[in-house]
Amino acid sequence: MYSWARRLNDLLVLRGWSQAELARRAGVSKENVKKYCQGAVGQPRGDTIPRLADALDVHFVWLRDGVGPQWRRIPVVGYVGAGEQFHAVDDLSQGAGLDSVDFDLGGVDPIAVEVRGESMLPVYRPGDRLLCSRLAGSDESGFLGKDCVVKLTSGAGYVKRVVRSGTPGHYTLLSYAAEPITDVALEWAAPILWIKRAV
């Protein structure tokens, strides 16, 4: 059985769905879903895996390859108010607008880096793992103003906040504990989407 079929079957059990229900939600034939669940198909054609993943609310890269984050949306179970007190939202009527947080890597090249040393305290701690989505350097709307793992065209790499510089196609990299790096060209930028804190 192909490994993606095991993940598909596990999700059906978790959701409590039949194969027919998944087929209906994904707009895929019941016969094909049965074949996928049996592990008879290594790689479905076209946009089938993204459609199945979308119906199951998981990232298609995770469903297909088992890498990156599994969930596309994370449930919001409460809020923090005055005095930093956590308030659970048990009644959905209390949670208007708080049903979930998108956790979408946009289907592009997920990577992670581990923090070593204390130079980025207090924001990033030794042992933290930063989950990122690598984007093409030309798509600046995805990384401007955000903390990113970046690789410069010179080959150097950093974790920095990326802002525009005065030169078109160049950027300034801001740091928590060092002087800015100015007017550099990026090979790629990977916005930090999630931090797995060190224990």
Helix, strand or coil for residue 67? coil
* pLDDT on residue 62: 81
On the question of pLDDT at 2 being above 90, the answer is no
Return mean pLDDT, the chain: 82
pLDDT digits (tens, 9 = 90+) for 93-120: 444 445 666 666 555 567 788 898 888 8
The angle at the Cα of 62, spanning 58 to 66, to the nearest 5 degrees, equals 140
* pLDDT of the residue at 94: 45
Most confidently modeled range among 32-41, 92-101, 137-146: 32-41
Domains in the chain and their CATH numbers?
A: 3-68 (1.10.260.40), 72-105 (no CATH), 110-196 (2.10.109.10)
User: Bigger pLDDT: 141 or 182?
Assistant: 182
- Predicted confidence at residue 99, as pLDDT, reads 63
Residue 30: pLDDT above 70? yes
In DSSP terms, 192 is beta-bridged to 132
Q: Could you tell me how far CA 143 lies from the centroid of its own chain?
A: 14
pLDDT above 60 (res 24): yes
CA distances from 74 to 100, 130, 174 (A): 5, 17, 29
pLDDT higher at 160 or 136: 160
pTM (two decimals): 0.55
pLDDT surpassing 80 at residue 167:
yes
